[in-house]
Amino acid sequence: MEDYKKHTTKDGSLSLYSLRYKEGFHDMDGALRESINKYLLPAQLEQFSSAEKIVVLDVCMGLGYNTGCILEELLQSDIKIEWHGLEIDKRPLDLGLNEKIFQKIWSPKILHFFNCLNKSGKWTEGFNEGTIHWGDARQKIYEIQDSISFDLILLDPFSPQKCPELWSEEFISLLTERLSFDGRLITYSTAASIRASLKRAGLKIYSIVPSIETPNKWSSGTVAMKKKLEHQFISKSNQFKDLSTREVEHLTTRSSVPYRDPTGKGKSKEIISTRELEQSKSQLTNTSSWRKRWNTAQLQ
Ligand X SMILES: C[S@@+](CC[C@H](N)C(=O)[O-])C[C@H]1O[C@@H](n2cnc3c(N)ncnc32)[C@H](O)[C@@H]1O
Judged by the rule CB under 6 A, the positions of this chain that interact with ligand X are 25, 60-66, 86-89, 92, 136-137, 156-158, 163, 165-166
Shortest distance in whole angstroms from residue 80 CB to ligand X: 24
Residue nearest ligand X, CB atom distance: 62
- Cβ closest to ligand X, residue 112 vs residue 265: 265
- Cβ closest to ligand X, residue 137 vs residue 153: 137
Shortest distance in whole angstroms from residue 252 CB to ligand X: 28
Alpha carbon dihedral 195, 220, 254, 265, in 10-degree steps, equals -60
- Cβ closest to ligand X, residue 99 vs residue 136: 136
Alpha carbon distance 11, 28 (integer Å): 9
Shortest distance in whole angstroms from residue 51 CB to ligand X: 24
CB of 70 within 8 A of CB of 85?
A: no
Burial of 242 (0-12, 13-18, 19+ CB in 10 A): middle
Shortest distance in whole angstroms from residue 25 CB to ligand X: 4
Shortest distance in whole angstroms from residue 275 CB to ligand X: 17
- Cβ closest to ligand X, residue 88 vs residue 116: 88
Shortest distance in whole angstroms from residue 297 CB to ligand X: 32
- Cβ closest to ligand X, residue 65 vs residue 106: 65
- Cβ closest to ligand X, residue 160 vs residue 183: 160
Alpha carbon distance 44, 66 (integer Å): 13
